[in-house]
Structure 1
Amino acid sequence: MNERRQFSRVLFSNQAQLCCQDAIWQTKLLDISLNGALVETPANFTPKSQQLQLSFTIPDSDIQVQMETELVHQKDNQLGLACLHIDVESISHLRRLVELNVGDPTLLDRELTLFIDKRNPEK
């Protein structure tokens, strides 16, 4: 099987929230990348849209990371979320989190460039 993944995933077990319109679900973040996340399917999860806001606090800090995501797959009690939009402050914190866990700044710089290019195709 060919690996299509372009972004390094970091195992990151942490409490998180998913929001869709006026509904909020508590969930557990399983892994994270610059381009999305994998979370546990929350109890009573019935979103009215595929677009969800994911938010979590980095442990031992008051740093909140938020990203607008799209539900791209749901399998084995897990939700795969693709990042649609993330603010500059959140991406800075997420980049640092991934950097600390990947350990290869060159790889991370390549992924960050790819992340930016995917969102600015007119470049």
Structure 2
Amino acid sequence: MTTPNTERRRFTRIDFDARTELQQGDHIYEVTLIDISFNGILIKSARPLNLSLGDEAFATIHIQGDSLSIRTPVSLTHKHEDEYGFLIENLDLDSLTLLRRLVELNLGEPSLLERELDHLFTTETD
């Protein structure tokens, strides 16, 4: 079984500034995206979020206005002060394609992208 620290090392975190919303039930929080990887997201919130470890939510990361968005279920894995780390649960094909392109552009080397995708699909099937 892998731990969040082990997972963090397998996936490159991409610093990315995009309008991000986190929805849990009827609550929608406007948050700041700090970074994103194939494994999860790290956000910052100006106000405390009423979430406990393991709580599930839905994240929307607006890549290009409202026309291109990564939309994914997430679960809270850690929090420290005003920062919250979430595990990405299940990306749909469109969101996975957008995230793949974002990582690809930031890594700049196809072999690194292939390694990350290998880890992603190996982790999902374990």
So what's the TM-score if we normalise by structure 2?
0.85
Of stretches 19-28 and 51-60 in structure 1, the one that deviates more from structure 2 is 51-60
| Aligned with residue 109 of structure 1, among 97, 114, 121 | 114
1:42 shift after superposition: 4.7
User: What does residue 17 of structure 2 align with?
Assistant: 13
Does residue 22 (structure 1) correspond to residue 26 (structure 2)? The answer is yes
Say whether the 8 Å CA contact 1:25–1:43 is kept in structure 2.
no
| Aligned with residue 43 of structure 2, among 23, 39, 43 | 39
Percent identity of paired positions between Structure 1 and Structure 2 = 29
Say whether the 8 Å CA contact 2:38–2:120 is kept in structure 1.
yes
Unpaired runs of at least 5, structure 2: none
The alignment partner of 1:116 has SS state of helix
User: What does residue 99 of structure 1 align with?
Assistant: 104
Unpaired runs of at least 5, structure 1: none
Structure with a larger share of its residues in helix: 2
Number of aligned residue pairs: 119
Amino acid at match of 2:19: Q
1:111 shift after superposition: 0.9
Structure with a larger share of its residues in strand: 1
Q: How does 1:35-114 map to 2 (within 5 A)?
A: 35-47=39-51, 50-59=55-64, 62-114=67-119
Say whether the 8 Å CA contact 2:17–2:32 is kept in structure 1.
yes
- In the alignment, the residues of structure 1 paired with residue 79 and residue 125 of structure 2 have an alpha-carbon distance, to the nearest angstrom, of 28
1:41 shift after superposition: 2.5
Say whether the 8 Å CA contact 1:29–1:37 is kept in structure 2.
yes
So what's the TM-score if we normalise by structure 1?
0.87
- In the alignment, the residues of structure 2 paired with residue 45 and residue 68 of structure 1 have an alpha-carbon distance, to the nearest angstrom, of 17
RMSD over aligned Cα, in angstroms?
1.9
Amino acid at match of 1:95: R
